[in-house]
A and B are shown apart, each in its own frame.
Chain A
Amino acid sequence: MGDPVELGAAYSDAGADELVFLDIKATLADRPTLVELVKRVAERLAIPFTVGGGVRSADDAERLLQAGADKVGVNSAALARPELITELAERLGSQAVVVAIDAEGGRVRSHAGTISAGRDATEWAREAEQRGAGEILLTSIDADGTREGYDLQLTAAVAGAVSLPVIASGGAGNARHVADALGVAQAALLASILHENPQRLASLRDEVRELGVPVR
């Protein structure tokens, strides 16, 4: 859908609170490319920038932070080796560690949703917190792409299980959805609904504000 650097800058200018880049291909060979991309995007931003995709070690994470990311997202690698979360928190500080959880029917899936992790989303979120996560980025695979609203039940359950900030993700279609998500989570992530039309972000923020939700 275009140049990620320009898109990132456009969102920053349109008033986005934060930007999240998830490298969905995330192969080892592509790592230097991601680091270069992070540098170029960071030059254009004045808002927090989270980068995830294939982070397997504190060294991986540190490289991304040195390139200009503020927070690092981990998903499959943390499920495979939960000690990773603690390593990241100790090296970078918990506030730089986002544990991304993809869930379907309340159950965790890894590797872009292709593999069942055999555990419960709320239970994994609790463990992630104990190990030093700073935020949980919760994506409902059930709701993702539907534009019919976030999975409020799943999100409320996870948000109720931890004392960490939770970012709701998956299903946003309109301002009401975002407002409802912000009633159970501390942040709401939007993706496809905006990528087609980045300018939509400013009017969406206005609409959410008009619904009585504090938006800066």
Chain B
Amino acid sequence: MNIAICGYGAGNVRSVEIAFRRLGAEITDDVGAADLAVLPGVGSARAAMAGLRERGHDVALRERFDEGRPIFGICLGLQLALDWTEEDGGVDGLGLVPGRSSRLREGRVPRMGWAEVDDRGAFYFAHSYAAETPHATAWSEGVVAEARFGSFFGCQFHPEKSGALGSLYLEEALSLSRV
């Protein structure tokens, strides 16, 4: 099972690599051919979208999506899959999943720390923006924690930073992509 991580030149994608490797996945550069493409969740929207475009990942991801091939987004990766985000003065996303991302208006921001996701247990969150989409499939304290649409699925939390539960979540992500 091989996965491609769509880096955009900033931040820590190593944790995602390490987590998937631990589960036996191999890492490939080929976003188009990989069994699963992963959109990681670091940095901020404007720089990330520019980085994705520079590397041609936006085109490769759109092709995968149109062909019904799995894409998994984490944190910012989920938000970038939407049409638009309020971050950085407003940035167009990949437009794979109908919806938008907006700044959290309640509580301490960024929303950092472990929080319950429905009845699944606690996962680690670190975000200032959250998805607004009709395709949400899980919630955490009123915030969208997971969304699915077409061959894209994504989570707002960081499964690679969520201990044993996070590892199980990633395992599930891998098995969903094994067709």
Residues of A within 8 A of B (CB): 12, 15, 17, 39, 42-43, 45-49, 62, 65-71, 90-96, 134-135, 163-165, 186-187, 216
Contact = CB atoms under 8 A, between A and B. Distances in A.
Given A17-B114, A46-B160, A70 B15 contact: yes
A96 B161 contact: no
Contacts of B121: 216
A65 B12 contact: yes
Given A46-B162, A92-B11, 17 more contacts: A17-B113, A43-B18, A46-B160, A46-B161, A47-B124, A48-B161, A62-B11, A65-B42, A70-B126, A91-B47, A93-B42, A96-B42, A134-B110, A134-B112, A164-B110, A186-B113, A216-B121
A68 B12 contact: yes
Contacts of B162: 46-47
Interface residues of B, number: 32
Among the interface residues A39, A96, A186, A187, which one has the most CB atoms of the partner chain B within 10 A? A96
The 8 tightest CB contacts between A and B, nearest first, are A216-B122, A95-B126, A65-B12, A95-B110, A68-B14, A165-B112, A93-B44, A48-B161
B14 A42 contact: yes
Interface of B: 10-12, 14-15, 18-19, 42-44, 47, 76, 108-110, 112-114, 121-122, 124, 126-128, 158, 160-164, 166-167
A93 B11 contact: yes
A92 B42 contact: yes
Contacts of B122: 216
Nearest to B22: A46
A65 B11 contact: yes
29 contacts: A39-B14, A42-B14, A42-B18, A45-B15, A46-B166, A46-B167, A47-B161, A48-B158, A65-B42, A66-B11, A66-B14, A67-B14, A68-B12, A69-B12, A70-B158, A71-B126, A92-B10, A93-B42, A93-B44, A95-B110, A95-B112, A95-B128, A134-B110, A134-B112, A164-B108, A165-B113, A186-B108, A187-B113, A216-B121
Nearest to B13: A66
A123 B164 CA distance: 39
B34 to A, nearest CB: 22
